[in-house]
Structure 1
Amino acid sequence: MKKLLAEVLGSFTLVFAGTGAIVINSASDGVITHAGIAITFGLVVLAMIHTFGDVSGAHLNPAVTLAFAAAGRFSWGAVPGYAGAQVVGAVSASLLLHLLFPQDPAVLGATLPAGSAMQSFVLELVLTAILMLTILSVSTGAREKGVTAGIAIGGVIALEAMFAGPISGASMNPVRSLAPALVAGHFNHLWIYLAAPVLGALIAVPLCIGVREAGCCGGRCVSPAS
C-alpha cells in the first residue's frame, strides 16, 4: 500500500504541476512560456524521483511500469495496481485544476497534435523510447540508482518537451494525457497518447538489451521497489 500511495501522490504532483503550468500559462497571457512549461515537467519528475524513488520506484507512468515488467525488472502481477494508482493520482490532479480554473481555454493542458495524427504518433513513440532507454540505463531493477538518475530522467523529459511539445505535446505518459481528457471531456486524438507511449517504452527494452551488458533485461523479476 505504501508503494501504491507513493504512485498516487507522485502522479498527482506530476500532473498538477506539469499541466498546471500549461493552464496557468494560458490564464496569465503566456507568462510561464513554452520553455517554462518544459522545465516544469522536467523538474517535477526529478523531484518525484528523489521523493518516492526509494519507495515505489517513482514510475508515475503506466508505459514505464509495463516496460519494466517486459524487461523482467518488475512483477507483472503488480502492474495493474501501479497503473490504477497512477490513474487515480493523475485524474485527481486534473479535477483539482478544473475546480481552480473552470474557464481554462487550454482544456486543462490536454495533449493535441498540431499537425497530422501520424506525425504526433511517431513523435510520441520515439520520444518515449528515448525516455525509457534512459530510465532503463540509470535504474537498478525498477528503482532509479544514485543521485544522478533524477537529473538524467528529468533532463530528458525537459529536453523532449522543449523541442517536441509544440507539435505533439510531448506527453510520453498515457495518464498525463488521459486525466485532462477525462475531466475536460476532450477525447480527440487521445488514442495517440495512449498507444504511442506504450509502444515506445516497449521498444526501448530490446534497444537496452542491444547496448547493455548481458542480463540487463529479461532476468528474474524483482520486487516493485528493488
Structure 2
Amino acid sequence: MEVVQPMADFQDPSQEWRRLFSELLGTFFLVLVAAGGGMMGQAFPNTISRTAAVVAPALMVLSVILFMGKVSGAHLNPAVSVAFSLRGDFPWRRVPGYVLAQLAGAAVAAWFLQAVIGISATTGSNYPASGYSSFDAFLMEAVLTLGLVSVILGTASGAQNVGVIGALGVGSYIALAGLWGSPISGASMNPARTFGPDLIGADFSDFWVYIAGPLTGAVIAVGVAFVLRGYGGGRSGSAAAQGVLGTEVKRSDR
C-alpha cells in the first residue's frame, strides 16, 4: 500500500502541478542556455561563437524532451501548446497554465543569468537585426516556427515526441534553423524564450514580433498537418502532447 498509493497519485491526471512544474523547469533550462549564450559572450568576448550559441539550445531541448517529455509533453513554448490544442491533441483548459509556467521558467532563468553574470538580460534576448525591419523579423520568425511546429506535430503523430526520435528531430531542426535564420531575427521561435530576458532587462522593443511570428507559424503548421495527416486528437498524438499521465484521448487512431 505504501508503494501503490503514491504511484496512483502520480498517475492521477488531476495532479496537474507535476506537468506545470515540468514545463517551468524545462523552459528554465532552455532559456538558461539560449539567453546565456549571448550574455556569456558579452561578458567573455571571443569565447562563444554564433554556431555554439544556436546549437546549445537545440541540445538542451533534445535533453529536456528525453528526461521529462513523458511528464508534460515538453512543450517549453506557448506556440507549441497552442498548436497542440488547435490540432486536438491537448485540452484547451490546460493551455493557460502551461503558458504561465513557461513564462515563469523563462523569467527565472533570465533573472538568474543577469544576477550571476552581471550583464543585462537584454543581451541574451532577440531583436531584429540592424538594417532589417520588424516585419522582416516577423516573417523570419513565422517561417522558422512553421518548420519547428511541423516537425513537432509530425513526430507527435507517431508518439515519438516522448522518445528519442522526436528529441533528435526537434533538436536538429532548432540547430539548423538557428544556424541560418538567427542573424535576422535571432531564431527565437518561442515567445517565452524572448519574454524572459525582455522582462528582466525591461526592454520590450519589437516584442510583438516574437509573439505574432511564432503564433502565426504555429497556426499555419496546424493547417499543414491537417493537409498531410488529417485530423489530430488520436491516441499517439495526445500521448505526445500531454505526456503519459492520465492522457485524455478524443479519438482512437485509425
TM-score by length of 1: 0.93
Q: 2: distance between equivalents of 1:93 and 1:16?
A: 5
Q: 2: distance between equivalents of 1:142 and 1:19?
A: 30
1:22-171 to structure 2, matched below 5 A, reads 22-104=38-120, 107-114=122-129, 115-140=132-157, 144-171=161-188
**Equivalent residue of 1:53, what SS?**
helix
- Structure 1 equivalent of residue 201 of structure 2: 184
Q: 1: distance between equivalents of 2:97 and 2:136?
A: 32
1:43-80 deviations in Å (ceiling 9; x for gaps): 01101110110100000000000000000000000001
Give the ranges of 4+ consecutive aligned residues of structure 1 lying more than 6 Å apart after TM superposition.
none
Q: 1: distance between equivalents of 2:220 and 2:125?
A: 25
Comparing 138-147 with 91-100, which one deviates more in the overlay?
A: 138-147
1:159-214 deviations in Å (ceiling 9; x for gaps): 101111111000000010011001001111011001110111111011011122x3
Q: 2: distance between equivalents of 1:88 and 1:108?
A: 19
* Deviation at residue 122 of structure 1 after TM alignment: 0.3
Comparing 143-152 with 41-50, which one deviates more in the overlay?
A: 143-152
- Structure 2 equivalent of residue 174 of structure 1: 191
Q: 1: distance between equivalents of 2:158 and 2:74?
A: 12
User: Which among 207, 220, 236 is matched to residue 203 of structure 1?
Assistant: 220
RMSD: 1.8
- Structure 2 equivalent of residue 13 of structure 1: 29
1:78-136 deviations in Å (ceiling 9; x for gaps): 001100110111100001011012234x7241100011111100000000011000000
**Equivalent residue of 1:190, what SS?**
coil
Q: 1: distance between equivalents of 2:234 and 2:60?
A: 31
Task: Identify if the C-alpha distance between structure 1 residues 63 and 133 changes in structure 2 by more than 3 Å, giving closer, same or farther.
Answer: same
Say how many residue pairs are matched: 223
Q: 2: distance between equivalents of 1:50 and 1:40?
A: 16
The structure with more radius of gyration: 2
> Counterpart of 1:135 in structure 2: which amino acid?
I
Q: Is the 8 A contact 1:124 1:172 kept in 2?
A: yes
> Counterpart of 2:126 in structure 1: which amino acid?
T
**Equivalent residue of 2:107, what SS?**
helix
Task: Identify if the C-alpha distance between structure 1 residues 2 and 140 changes in structure 2 by more than 3 Å, giving closer, same or farther.
Answer: farther
Comparing 135-144 with 2-11, which one deviates more in the overlay?
A: 135-144
Q: 2: distance between equivalents of 1:153 and 1:120?
A: 22
Q: Which runs of 5+ in 2 are unaligned?
A: 1-16, 248-254
